[in-house]
Amino acid sequence: MKRNLFLLAGALMISTFANAEVKKDVKFTEVPYGACSKEMTVEVKDGKIASFSAVKGCPGNLNAISKLLPGMEVDKVIALLDDNPCSGAPIKGLSSCMDNLVEMLKYHVNGEGEGHVAELRKKQRAQKIAFSYNGHVCSGCGLCDAQFS
């Protein structure tokens, strides 16, 4: 009887942890990688985006996003915006402001992903990933060795 009760309690605990939703309150600021924006600040309350702001980048898009994101659940934002590259640059997960946002949310809120965006930048630069620009306008993001003129 004790064994069955112990097994039932264990199964309930596993089920509870497996279905646990992210309800984390966190605010973070990071420098994006491979995107025009120079800084992003995100605030999450009770598992939902409370605020989003970005410094520089595409003003129309980022202003629109900062109005659309508040109130959205973090997991929904991740599902909607993951793998959303700019200018066709084929660097998976790190080629647009929104891909950067997804990586930041995965890392800071869900505790998953490959790590801090700055760490990912170092890894990818070390691997010397070659990609075509496909008409990308240089923003001086540091992805390549190009310089502003």
Task: Dig out the tokens for 113 from the structure.
Answer: 């992903």
Radius of gyration of the chain (CA): 19
- H helix or E strand, kind and range, residue 53: strand 48-55
Tallying the residues shown for the chain, one arrives at 149
Separation between Cα atoms, residue 29 and residue 131, nearest integer Å: 28
Its CATH architecture, for the domain 21-127, is 2-Layer Sandwich (3.30)
Q: Are strands 26-30 and 39-45 parallel, antiparallel or unpaired?
A: antiparallel
- H helix or E strand, kind and range, residue 51: strand 48-55
Rounded to two decimals, the pTM is: 0.64
pLDDT tens-digit map of 79-121: 999 877 776 555 554 568 888 899 889 888 888 766 667 676 6
Q: What are the phi and psi torsion angles at 26 (to 5°)?
A: -150, 145
Task: Dig out the tokens for 67 from the structure.
Answer: 């109005």
pLDDT tens-digit map of 125-139: 555 444 444 455 555
- What residue segments make up the domains of the chain, in order of their start? 21-127
